[in-house]
């Protein structure tokens, strides 16, 4: 029986430092001056202990675009970012719209073993938005799919969405909607506003998101199903969500680190590394999103980690693919945008990066309290640590980070999955 003692960490950044004893993947004691005889000791002086992070929105690109990311490299990036579970989006090639593909992704995640990889199943066959995929078969497969999404594309047909909500209600699963009314975003390249107009880029209006979120909240309430809204990007969507939650809709929502930090001023660079869907919005949208996350209107942070090959980014804006890397930079961005300004304490970080996403994704053994008898699935963070981002040094195959050269606060020192070290001092263990 292997024993590890984490010495001198502060759970949730609160109180005096404590020792955490771990045996066979489970927390067996928490206290001061624990006997470390024979145990492996991890010195965690000055570090904050949090439950391992859970990302509801990761593009791992396998199968199909292994030139940009694989389940192995993406798992490394996740472990280094403090994640212990990720949900792998379905817009792969082939699409994860059947049991064979989701089981493949799930198995490969287990083989790599650095994070729990939970495949998201497509809502519709081939992400075409027309015919429902075999949701029940994916739910009953070895991968036990509980989150379905056509992410990258919106389930735009209201009848298809209604039927999908009815099925997922029966399966105790959730639809994660990429909210974008496609008729309002034809050719869209950037947030519809003054800057896009000046640069001659076709606009992606806020209402394209808000209209779908409002519609889907009404549909979810009507059928009594759960709805999850992907990457909320506008102040207006937060207003819609507040309204829907107040009237008892079973809706949850995520916000990305980039929509918390960045805004459409970045368009001035004309660098497609800043192109993302939904687009970077105004500074006042970003402020409203930070406040909505602090207030709980937005439930959690999800990365929308979207690796892209250099040739798909180093090109003219309109030809570039949307998306940016996110797994290794998520915590530092949350520290910079939420912790440092006093909008969230570490308890709040645990809520938005771990507990709520685990609940939304239906993971009973993630996002658990740091307590005796609970799984030792933990992240140790150095709140005083700083780190300069270099895309080429990230674990992902792709390097499309919008944070290149930025000096960010808050470093992940150690990640533990059921007692096994998966990342330590900037190195993944597999």
Known catalytic residues? 304
Is the distance from CB of 106 to CB of 117 less than 8 angstroms? yes
Task: Pick between residue 27 and residue 333 the one whose CB is nearest to ligand DOR.
Answer: 333
Q: Is 225 in the site for ligand DOR (CB under 6 A)?
A: no
**Of 28, 58, 91, 92, which lies in the binding site for ligand DOR, with binding defined by CB under 6 A?**
91
- Sign of the C-alpha dihedral, residues 68, 332, 80, 26? negative
| Spatial distance between the Cα atoms of 297 and 252, rounded to a whole number of angstroms | 8
Q: Is 151 in the site for ligand DOR (CB under 6 A)?
A: yes
Task: Pick between residue 62 and residue 151 the one whose CB is nearest to ligand DOR.
Answer: 151
Closest-CA residue to 50 (of 13, 15, 77, 16): 13
Torsion on CA atoms 166, 223, 227, 154, rounded to nearest 10:
70
Determine if residue 277 is labeled as part of a ligand binding site: yes
Cα distances (Å, whole numbers) of residue 355 to 39, 92, 109, 344, 363:
29, 27, 21, 14, 10
Find the helix or strand (DSSP H, E) in which 106 lies.
helix 99-112
323 binds, among Zn ion, ligand DOR, none (CB under 5 to 8 A by kind): ligand DOR
**Helix, coil or strand: residue 373:** coil
The minimum distance between CB 151 and Zn ion, in angstroms, equals 4
Q: Is 217 in the site for ligand DOR (CB under 6 A)?
A: no
Question: Residue 120 is encoded by which pair of tokens?
Answer: 């998201």
Determine if residue 304 is labeled as part of a ligand binding site: yes
**Of 103, 151, 192, 355, which lies in the binding site for Zn ion, with binding defined by CB under 5 A?**
151
Is the distance from CB of 377 to CB of 418 less than 8 angstroms? yes
Counted residue by residue, the chain has a size of: 430
The minimum distance between CB 179 and ligand DOR, in angstroms, equals 10
Determine if residue 178 is labeled as part of a ligand binding site: yes
**Of 108, 178, 351, 356, which lies in the binding site for ligand DOR, with binding defined by CB under 6 A?**
178
Determine if residue 57 is labeled as part of a ligand binding site: yes
Question: Residue 340 is encoded by which pair of tokens?
Answer: 């440092």
Task: Pick between residue 153 and residue 399 the one whose CB is nearest to Zn ion.
Answer: 153
306 binds, among Zn ion, ligand DOR, none (CB under 5 to 8 A by kind): ligand DOR
Pairing mode, strands 378-388 and 407-417: antiparallel
- Sign of the C-alpha dihedral, residues 387, 264, 55, 356? positive
Q: Total number of residues binding Zn ion (CB under 5 A)?
A: 3
Task: Pick between residue 10 and residue 266 the one whose CB is nearest to ligand DOR.
Answer: 266
Residues contacting 250, CB < 8 A, separation 6+? 220, 221, 224, 225, 226, 227
Stretch that binds ligand DOR, among 35-43, 252-260, 320-328, 359-367 (CB under 6 A): 320-328
The minimum distance between CB 257 and Zn ion, in angstroms, equals 14
| Spatial distance between the Cα atoms of 414 and 399, rounded to a whole number of angstroms | 23
Q: Is 277 in the site for ligand DOR (CB under 6 A)?
A: yes
Q: Is 90 in the site for ligand DOR (CB under 6 A)?
A: no
59 binds, among Zn ion, ligand DOR, none (CB under 5 to 8 A by kind): ligand DOR
Determine if residue 274 is labeled as part of a ligand binding site: no
Question: Residue 226 is encoded by which pair of tokens?
Answer: 């759960």
Task: Pick between residue 116 and residue 150 the one whose CB is nearest to Zn ion.
Answer: 150
Q: Is 276 in the site for ligand DOR (CB under 6 A)?
A: yes
Q: Total number of residues binding ligand DOR (CB under 6 A)?
A: 12
Q: Is 152 in the site for ligand DOR (CB under 6 A)?
A: yes
Beta bridge partners of 51: 378
Binding residues for Zn ion, rule: CB under 5 A, are: 151, 178, 230
Binding residues for ligand DOR, rule: CB under 6 A, are: 59, 91, 151-152, 178, 276-277, 304, 306, 321-323
């Amino acid at each position: 029986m292997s024993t590890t003692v984490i010495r001198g960490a502060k759970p949730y950044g609160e109180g005096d430092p404590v020792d955490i004893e771990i045996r066979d993947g489970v927390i067996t004691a928490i206290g001061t001056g624990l006997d470390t005889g024979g145990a492996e000791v991890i010195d965690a002086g000055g570090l904050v202990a949090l439950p391992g992070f859970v990302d509801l929105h990761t593009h791992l690109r396998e199968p199909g675009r292994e030139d940009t990311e694989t389940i192995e490299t993406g798992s490394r990036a996740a472990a280094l970012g403090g994640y212990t579970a990720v949900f792998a989006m379905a817009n792969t090639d082939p699409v994860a719209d059947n049991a064979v593909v989701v089981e493949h992704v799930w198995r490969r995640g287990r083989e790599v073993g650095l994070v729990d990889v939970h495949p998201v199943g497509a809502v519709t066959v081939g992400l075409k938005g027309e015919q429902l995929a075999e949701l029940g078969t994916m739910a009953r497969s070895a991968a036990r799919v509980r989150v379905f999404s056509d992410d990258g594309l919106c389930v735009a047909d209201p009848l298809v969405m209604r039927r999908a909500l009815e099925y997922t209600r029966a399966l105790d699963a959730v639809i994660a909607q990429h909210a974008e009314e496609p008729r309002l975003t034809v050719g869209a390249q950037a947030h519809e506003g003054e800057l896009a107009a000046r640069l001659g880029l076709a606009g992606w209006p806020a209402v394209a998101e808000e209209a779908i979120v409002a519609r889907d909240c009404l549909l979810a309430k009507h059928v009594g199903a759960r709805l999850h809204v992907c990457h909320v990007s506008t102040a207006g969507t937060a207003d819609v969500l507040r309204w829907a939650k107040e009237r008892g809709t079973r809706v949850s929502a995520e916000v990305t680190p980039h929509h918390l930090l960045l805004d459409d001023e970045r368009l001035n660079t004309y660098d497609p590394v800043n192109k993302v869907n939904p687009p970077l919005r105004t500074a006042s949208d970003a402020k409203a999103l930070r406040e909505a996350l602090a207030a709980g209107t937005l439930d959690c942070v999800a990365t929308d980690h979207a690796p892209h090959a250099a040739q798909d980014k180093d090109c003219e804006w309109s030809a570039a693919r949307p998306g940016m890397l996110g797994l290794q930079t998520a915590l530092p961005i949350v520290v910079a945008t939420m912790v440092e300004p006093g909008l969230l304490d570490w308890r709040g970080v645990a809520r938005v990066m771990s507990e709520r996403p685990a609940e939304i994704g239906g993971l009973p053994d993630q996002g658990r309290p740091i307590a005796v008898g609970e799984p030792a699935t933990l992240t140790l963070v150095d709140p005083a640590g700083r780190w300069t981002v270099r895309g080429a040094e990230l674990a992902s195959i792709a390097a499309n980070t919008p944070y290149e050269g930025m000096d960010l606060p808050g470093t992940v020192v150690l990640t533990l999955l059921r007692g096994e070290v998966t990342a330590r001092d900037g190195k993944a263990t597999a």
